[in-house]
């Protein structure tokens, strides 16, 4: 009676297992030992490895070698292979936009004007991309909810107050203080964040006695050393006898236009090296803009001598011939406020009343 009431689990536990269980790790280790002990020769290989080598294959006969003609084989093809795109050689001379042979763009490696790089970015440019641009977007961004339009723009032309009967039907006047209209300000987005566009550095020879070639050469050498760009000479556009100026003959100034890496390197030197060393320097005037996003400031000869390229070879330049330079910073901003905010974020100080 006791055996009839026994549970199936007790019956299974009372029976001895007939199959022997082996650990998989132990089984793999025993197979590995057996394989290393049996694979003693090169012929005893695994089934996944091909025992024959391609070097042991029989060589083609002499008749096959002599009859092989790859050129004739390519001609017998019904559909020719596409030509390689690397066979194109750009023309040596540009023959106009209507000529069938057009040179590739300068950014293409096939172009004769291709310049590799840049391989590294200036620190100021990296700071602008990573930090300054998002901060400027946060400061200047104006949110408009979806489905709404920005408010109406203000009147750009000035009207008449109708205090006189002659004001009736008169056209609107232009802006006060300038003959042209200022640029319109678009809503700030990630597409039009203010950034540096180019920098002009120039020196004007103001005195007729300083228009000697020696002054011009020293000014050009210093501008080239400071900006890393070869300076160009600007000549007089009109003939004025009282100022000893002859048209297209008298040299009036030297200038250099900076873009890209040279622009950021020059501005970083001005901000980090030159301006902190100027004694009692107040900064750039707040009204130095032109109303379209371009700001200008000047550096005296004593400040020009603080550039590292000039200071290391200071004895090479006559002290009385070191020129003063004027710097014009062109930005993509459409007003002076945004341009001033961009330059102040890069480290340029401003003083006085800010004129927008």
Q: How confident is the model at residue 249 (pLDDT cuts 50, 70, 90)?
A: confident
Q: How confident is the model at residue 38 (pLDDT cuts 50, 70, 90)?
A: very low
Can you give the pLDDT at residue 166? 92
Is the predicted pLDDT of residue 7 greater than 70, yes or no?
A: no
Q: How confident is the model at residue 49 (pLDDT cuts 50, 70, 90)?
A: low
What is the percent of the chain where pLDDT is above 90?
Answer: 38
pLDDT, greater one: 34 or 321: 321
Q: What is the mean pLDDT of the chain?
A: 82
Q: How confident is the model at residue 242 (pLDDT cuts 50, 70, 90)?
A: confident
Beta strand 294-299 with 350-351 is: unpaired
pLDDT tens per residue, range 281-339: 999 999 898 888 999 999 999 999 999 999 998 888 888 889 999 999 999 999 999 99
- ω before 118 within 30° of 0 (cis)? yes
Angle CA 235–239–243, to nearest 5:
90
- Per-residue H/E/C for the chain: CCCCCCCHHHHHHHCCCCCCCCCHHHHHHHHHHHHHHHCCCCCCCCCCCCCCCHHHCCCCCHHHHHHCCHHHHHHCCCCCCCCCHHHCCCCCCCCCCCCCCCCCCCCCCCCCCCCCCCCCCCHHHHHHHHHHHHHHHHHHCCCCCCCCCCCCCCCCCECCCCCCHHHCCCCCECCCCCCCCCCCCCCCCCCCCCCEEEEEEEEECCCHHHCCHHHHHHHHHHHHHHHCCCCEEEECCCCECCCCECCCCCEEEEEEEECCHHHHHHHHHHHHHHHHHCCCCCCEECCCECCCCEEEEEECHHHHCCCHHHHCCHHHCCHHHCCCEEEEEEECCCCHHHHHHHHHHCCCCEECCCCC
Range ranked top by mean pLDDT from 74-88, 105-119, 121-135: 121-135
Look up the pTM and report it.
Answer: 0.65
pLDDT tens per residue, range 178-236: 777 878 888 888 899 999 999 999 998 877 666 677 888 899 999 999 999 999 999 88
Is the predicted pLDDT of residue 3 greater than 50, yes or no?
A: no
Q: How confident is the model at residue 5 (pLDDT cuts 50, 70, 90)?
A: very low
Can you give the pLDDT at residue 84? 61
User: Would you give the end-to-end CA distance of the chain in angstroms?
Assistant: 109
Angle CA 45–51–53, to nearest 5:
145
Q: How confident is the model at residue 1 (pLDDT cuts 50, 70, 90)?
A: very low
Residues of 45-79 as b/e, b for ≥16 C-beta within 10 angstroms?
eeeeeeeeeeeeeeeeeeeeeeeeeeeeeeeeeee
pLDDT, greater one: 4 or 97: 97
């Amino acid at each position: 009676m006791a055996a009839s009431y026994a549970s199936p689990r007790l019956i299974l536990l009372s029976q001895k297992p007939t199959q022997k269980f082996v650990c998989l790790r132990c089984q793999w280790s025993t197979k590995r030992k057996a394989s290393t002990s049996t694979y003693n020769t090169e012929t005893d290989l695994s089934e996944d490895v091909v025992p024959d080598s391609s070097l042991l294959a029989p060589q083609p006969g002499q008749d096959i070698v002599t009859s092989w003609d790859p050129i004739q084989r390519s001609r017998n093809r019904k559909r020719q292979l596409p030509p390689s795109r690397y066979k194109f050689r750009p023309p040596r001379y540009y023959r106009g936009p209507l000529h069938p042979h057009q040179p590739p763009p300068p950014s293409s490696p096939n172009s004769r004007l291709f310049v590799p790089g840049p391989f590294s970015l200036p620190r100021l440019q990296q700071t602008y991309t990573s930090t300054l641009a998002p901060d400027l977007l946060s400061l200047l961004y104006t949110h408009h909810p979806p489905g709404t339009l920005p408010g109406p723009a203000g009147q750009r032309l000035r009207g008449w107050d109708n205090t006189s009967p002659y004001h009736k039907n008169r056209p609107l006047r232009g802006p006060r203080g300038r003959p042209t209209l200022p640029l319109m300000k678009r809503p700030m987005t990630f597409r039009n964040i203010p950034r540096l566009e180019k920098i002009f550095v120039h020196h004007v020879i103001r005195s007729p006695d300083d228009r000697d070639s020696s002054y011009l050469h020293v000014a050009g050498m210093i501008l080239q050393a400071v900006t890393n760009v070869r300076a160009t000479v600007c000549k007089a556009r009109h003939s004025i006898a009282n100022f000893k100026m002859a048209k297209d003959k008298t040299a009036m100034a030297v200038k250099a236009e900076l873009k890209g890496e040279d622009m950021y390197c020059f501005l970083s030197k001005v901000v980090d090296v030159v301006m902190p060393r100027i004694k009692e320097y107040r900064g750039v005037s707040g009204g130095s803009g032109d109303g379209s996003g371009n700001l200008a400031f000047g550096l005296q000869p004593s400040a020009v001598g603080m550039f590292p390229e000039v200071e290391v070879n200071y004895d090479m330049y006559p002290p009385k011939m070191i020129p003063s330079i004027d710097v014009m910073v062109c930005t993509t901003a459409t007003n002076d406020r945004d341009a001033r905010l961009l330059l102040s974020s890069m480290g340029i100080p401003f003083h006085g009343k800010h004129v927008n």
